[in-house]
Structure formats: C-alpha cells, structure tokens
Amino acid sequence: MSDKVPPTLFQLPFLRCLVMGRASVAIFALVTGYVNSLGPLKKSRAGNADAALSGVAKSAFRRFGRFMIPAIVATTLSWLACQFGAYNVAHYANSAWIRDTSPRPSSSFAGAFYDLFKNLGTTWIDGYNAYDRIQWTLTFLLKGSMMTYLSLFALVYVKPRWRMVIIAGMFYFKWKSGDSLVGFNVFCGIFLAEASLDADVASFMAAHPFLQAIGSAALIILGLFFCSYPEEHPEWARWSTNLLRFGHWIFPSGVEYARFYPGMGADLVATGIMFNTTAKTILSHRFLCWMGKLSWPVYLLHAPLIRTVLTWVLFGASVRPSQGKDQNGHDLPPGWLPIANPWVVTFAIPLFYVFLYRVAGLWAQYVDPWCTNVTQRFEDMVFREEAKVDKPLLLS
C-alpha cells in the first residue's frame, strides 16, 4: 500500500486488527490490571483488607517467577535452535522482519553460552533479546504488574467510590504523561475490575438495558476502529488521516499515535465487552476460553516458530534468484528466497496456527507446571512459616 496503490484486504480498518500486534500488548496490560486486582478488591469490599494486603504481597513475589522463568525457558529453546542452524533459511527469506529478527549462531562454544546469559540479562535490563525480540514487552508488563500491586497496597483501605475516583485520576495522569504502552491500560483494567464489583453500576445497567446494549456495542466497534490505526504512513488512507487529525485534539503532544490508538481502542473494547451480555456469552465459549488459556505460551512461542517451521514451509523449497552482474562484470549476490506459491501459503498459514496451538498446549501441560513448581520451591525456601500457603500454587 502507498499513497497511489490501493490497500490490500488486511490493510482495511477492522480487518487490520487480525494481523496487527500492537493492540495485543495493550490488552495484556489491561488484563494484568484487571486480573491481578480483582481478588484483592473483592476482599477489600468485604471488609477483609488484611487478607487483601497479604494476597497482594504474595502475588507480587510470585509475579517474577510467572514472568521470568517461562521467558528463560523460551529464550533457551530459541538459543538452541539458533546454535543448531534452525534459523538458516530465515536469514535469506524475502521478509525483512523474519531476517532482522533471526539471530546467527555464535562463533564459538564458549561464546554461545556467553551470548545466552547476556541476552537473559538484557531482556530485563533494557528489553533486548536477540533470540526472541518480542520479549522486549516483558519488562513493561512486569512494571505494569508492580504498578497494580503498589496501587492496591495504597488503596486497599480506601472506600470503593473514592478508590474509583483515584484510579480514574491515575488513568488520566498516565494518559497525560504519555505512558501509552502499559500505564493507562493497567489503570483501565483496575477501574473495570472495581466497576464490575460495584452494585450501583450493576443496578444502573439493569435499569437501562437499551442504553447498555447500544452503548456497549458502540464502544466495541469504535475500539476496533481505533485499534486499526496503522503503524506507519496514516496519511495514505482517508480514514487513518482523519484519525491522525483527531489525535491532534485528544492526545498529548509528542506521543506516538500508533501506540495511543491501539491502547485506547483496547480499553474501549474491554469496557464494551464487560457491559455487553452477548459479547460475554460469545467470549465464554469453551473454545475461546481454551485459546485464552494458551495466550501466554502462544505469545512466547509464536515468533521462534514463525522463524523456523513456518519459514521452512514458505521459503525452504525456493531458490535464491540470480541478480545478474554488476557494471564490472562480476556476479551480484543472489536475491532473497521468494515465498511459495499462493496455494501453499493458503494452506500453510492455517495449518501453522493449528501447530502453534498444539505446541502451546504441550507447553501449558508440561512447562507451566514445572515453572510453577520452581516458584513454589523458592517460595518455600524464603518465606516465613506463617506466610506460606497451601499447595498447589496458582500463579496469578
């Protein structure tokens, strides 16, 4: 697509949401705020603030294991794949993203281990991980978790109505400060968790069913439209140009609209779903719940599997085309591996998603319980006796 070339199917608004990843980071942040605050807020509203504080302390401690141990396992597997040449085809694929995110093997045996431990550290220091570039988000999501726990710690004794006011104020503060990646999405999640427990909110919705149905549907549609905002060149399409102009009015100056719009869109979609009975019924389907359960392993595994299995299928059988000779008569380096024919692509991509979720299911069956056990053992080792909880441990 360009200013003179019409958009393809998945470059149109709404359909773009199927292939864009920026809204998913905002959704992870929002869910982080919602899920991690729901239990403590219930206890606080029930007058059991001490139990809420105890739960917040333990959840904050476990959160490091919930994030860091699976990320270490995923990085190590990607490192092994790299050292054994699994990314060799990806280095020559006719896809800039695949080439740029596919590391090359280390120059020596000792250097390989040095590179592994270096990247395990830099993942959490500056967000860089050569073996799994998508892990740059983990530091932000971990900060979002700690932001949630700190807010709950400060507000657990506050009256629910005033707590909602303060959380709304924190949302506005994060909005104005430009924290679009995690900040205002986390506080939106906390606010929705509080609103879901509020009897007055439930009574108002029950008293106005038509407004609830129309308003929630409008929020979902508007949110998906905002999530469609392109990462680059919004001026190439009229609808995104209008959003660009609208952003000048509502967003703080100097922020990245390609982050703010998906974040705002995710918040609107989540709010609409929470008050839309039909949407909640659809999303409560057993198949969609199963997919949601696997979202964390899918997130960790999808990029390495794209650069290996899917790349082998789409580019592995191709031959690098000749580029001819230069002006001095010397052979030019061959071009990138072309993608397979459309029929192969049509069948390969759906089958890849089946394979991806199968592998994610195995991860959830074997790797997640192992990570849970490691965290539990560490907790047993460092916690005081009176602070220990009954097994099995559920990492929230």
DSSP 99-144: HHT-PPPPSSHHHHHHHHHHHHHHHHHTS--TT-GGGHHHHHHHHH
Nearest to 69 by CA among 386, 363, 283, 278: 363
C-alpha span between 118 and 195 (Å, rounded)? 43
C-alpha span between 223 and 242 (Å, rounded)? 15
Q: Which of the two residues, 391 and 195, has the higher pLDDT score?
A: 195
396 CB-side CA count, 13 A: 19
Question: What's the mean per-residue pLDDT of the chain?
Answer: 91
Contact of 25 with 266, CB cutoff 8 Å: no
- Region 168-192: mean pLDDT is 95
Q: Which long-range contacts (CB under 8 A, 24 or more apart) does 243-247 make?
A: none
Contact of 141 with 134, CB cutoff 8 Å: no
Contact of 144 with 32, CB cutoff 8 Å: yes
pLDDT (tens digit, 9 = 90+) per residue, 107-136? 999 999 999 999 999 999 999 999 999 999
Statement: residue 2 has pLDDT above 90: no
C-alpha span between 45 and 158 (Å, rounded)? 10
CA dihedral 174, 179, 183, 188 (to 10 degrees): 60
Statement: residue 193 has pLDDT above 60: yes
Statement: residue 392 has pLDDT above 50: no
Nearest to 193 by CA among 30, 347, 15: 30
- pLDDT recorded at residue 394: 39
- pLDDT recorded at residue 387: 67
- pLDDT recorded at residue 395: 39
- What is the maximal distance between C-alpha atoms in the chain? 83
pLDDT (tens digit, 9 = 90+) per residue, 365-378? 999 999 999 999 99
318 CB-side CA count, 13 A: 22
C-alpha span between 193 and 187 (Å, rounded)? 10
Number of residues in the chain: 396
Residue 131 carries which side chain, given as an amino acid letter? Y
Nearest to 191 by CA among 38, 297, 338, 64: 38
- Region 372-394: mean pLDDT is 74
Tracing tokens 């270490």 back to the chain, one arrives at: 72
- Residue 248's pLDDT band (boundaries 50, 70, 90)? very high
- Residue 332's pLDDT band (boundaries 50, 70, 90)? confident
Q: Which long-range contacts (CB under 8 A, 24 or more apart) does 14-19 make?
A: 14/224, 14/225, 14/228, 15/228, 16/227, 16/228, 16/230, 17/224, 17/227, 17/228
- pLDDT recorded at residue 386: 66
- pLDDT recorded at residue 272: 96
- Residue 396's pLDDT band (boundaries 50, 70, 90)? very low
- pLDDT recorded at residue 256: 94
- pLDDT recorded at residue 323: 75
C-alpha span between 165 and 27 (Å, rounded)? 22
